[in-house]
Amino acid sequence: MNVKALVSELQNFYLLSFHGLLGLLRRPFYLRDAIEQMDYAGAGSFFIIILVSLFVGMALSLQLAAELSVLGLKMYTGKVVGISIIREIGPVAAALVFTGRVGSGMASELGSMVLGHQVDTLRVFGVDPVKKLVTPRIVSALVMLPALTLIGDAASLLGGYYIAVFVSHQSGNVYWSSIRDVLDFENVFSGSVKPFIFGYLIASISCYMGLSAKGGAIGLRGATTRAVVLSIIMIIVADFILTRILLYALGFSV
Amino acid sequence: MIVFDGVSFSYGDRAILTDLHFSIRADERVAVLGGSGEGKTTILKLIMGLMRPDSGMIFIEGEDITGKTEEALRDVRMKFSIVFQEGALFDSLNVKENVAFCLREYTALSEEEIDVKVRDLLRRVGVEQALEFMPEELSGGMHRRVAIARSLAAFEPKMFLYDEPTSGLDPVNADNICKLILDLSRNGKGFIIVTHKVFDALKVANRFIFLQDGKILFDGDREQLLHSPIPDIQIFISELQYKEEAKNV
């Protein structure tokens, strides 16, 4: 891809994601579409998030308990698990699962609508495809990813508890009191901001890739793959940038 | 109604239409013929403002639409009723909701009034029994009929545009769609049908435009088409000779 095409793509992506967000403020509001999308994104991802998060929490707790017991600091397992999950791993893990399940679904559904002339049909009927298709998906991601992250965090902490108490033979009270200690404003705020940004990125990228699909089944496959790959890359990059900004804003020294 | 004045269009480096000139009246029944990838569907999309030409001007009722914004194009699009290839019904909505789509968007009709109107439209195209079906439950012919009903629900069009309305259909269903197309244009409303099935085109149209390599190779009536000396057109209409021969077997 040459530079001109790349700049044009970036400009189109920016316009789509901006207009998608702006759709929240302008009539008509496609509330029914947004609720349908939230149901698909939220309820549909609920058990997957719990399952993934539970095992992430267990693996993390296992690693930390093994390492900290060598140093004689096993009692800090809960604290380190808590900080890692709430600030960092929880939002990223939920966002990655959300990308795999919801982002790919958004891209393939919209791509299929483009190739099947359904998007053209909307335009013919005078309906703005961005407002009708993109805004409800952005809304669903902005609402459901933070909620799923919260549920995922809880599942991870529970997984960590299981390992700490039943495998590493630590006190459950100590584990939960360490978790309570780390549930302060800085950590909770740090972990709460990220899912909103990640959700917006996933929905925007996936919708853009879907609406740019061309050329039949192969094109649809390419659009879905690009949506997932680019979303994952952007989540990781954005996570680093956000972490840097949040640490600075919340007064942590590195 | 429609004037193409030196219209050219390309996908990247590939030229699809080159310096196209033609005009179509609102009451004409025109078939645009040509092989796959010759730009037939592109012509419909250009008329609707869904694509913009690289050069040239497109006039709809004397108004150049090439520079119009998406908002301004809405008025242009309301003059036409377009049925895309394979119907383009919304997958997530059932037949009733597909047909009611524009009624819900643009009218303040009550649920009962929408129901009556949708049933009436579906009866008109002969698929009233499919009211609660999802698009994937419909046959190819029903798909097109529901799409036609939906396009009629939208606005009061001055002209119909059909993109390959009979492709992929068995001869009986294709014939039924042709009859429906003729029925809808009975009150003097014209249409443009884009197809590669010359047999179906001859059933409904009285003017034929043949596209090849992005240019108009032929523009004339039924007799001129059937007796055209152009070799590529002869190959194209050989489908008719096979049908005649088959009758004698």
| A154: contact with B, CB 8 A cutoff | no
Tokens read off for A249:
């804003």
* SS3 at position B34: coil
Mean pLDDT of the region B56-68: 94
Burial B114-123 (b: 16+ CB within 10 A, else e): beebbeebbe
B163: CATH: 3.40.50.300
Rounded Cα distance between A98 and A91, Å, is 10
- Best B75, B85, B92, B138 member to test A by mutation, with max A CBs in 10 Å, is B92
B30 & B72 share domain: yes
Q: Count the neighbouring beta carbons within 10 Å of the beta carbon of residue B53.
A: 20
**Same domain flag for B152 and B205:** no
CB contact under 8 A, B101 and A125: yes
CA distance B50 to B55: 15
Give the DSSP letter string of B39-91.
SHHHHHHHHTTSS--SEEEEEETTEE-TT--HHHHHHHHTTEEEE-TT----T
Number of domains in chain B: 2
pLDDT tens per residue across span B171-201: 888 888 899 899 888 888 899 999 988 889 9
DSSP SS3 for A169: coil
pLDDT single digits (tens) A89-126: 999 999 999 999 999 999 999 999 999 999 999 999 88
In terms of residue numbers, what domain contains B62?
1-79+159-217
Same domain, B152 and B165: no
* pLDDT tens, residue order, chain A (254 aa): 688 888 998 999 999 999 999 988 988 889 999 999 999 999 889 999 999 999 999 999 999 999 999 998 989 999 999 999 999 999 999 999 999 999 999 999 999 999 999 999 999 988 999 999 999 999 999 999 999 999 999 999 999 999 999 999 999 999 999 999 988 998 899 899 999 999 999 999 999 999 999 988 999 999 999 999 999 999 999 999 999 999 999 888 77
For residue B152, give the DSSP letter: H
Using a CB-CB cut-off of 8 Å, the residues of chain A touching B88 are 116-118, 120-121
Q: Is A39 on the interface with B (CB under 8 A)?
A: no
- What is the Cα–Cα distance from A47 to A34, expressed in whole angstroms? 21
Q: Tokens 């840097």 identify what position?
A: A244
ipTM, two decimals, is 0.85
For B126-139, the three-class secondary structure string (H helix, E strand, C coil) is CCHHHCCCCHHHCC
Residue B207 lies in a domain: yes
Please report residues of A whose CB lies closer than 8 A to that of B48.
120, 124
Residue from the list B82, B85, B90 with its beta carbon closest to the beta carbon of A124: B82
The H-or-E segment that residue A114 falls in is: helix A104-115
Chain B residues inside the 8 Å CB shell of A128: 70
> What percentage of chain A carries pLDDT values higher than 90?
82
Is the bond into A28 cis (omega within 30 degrees of 0)?
yes
B77 min Cα distance to partner chain A (Å): 6
Residues B172 and B146 in one domain: no
Give residue A51's pLDDT: 97
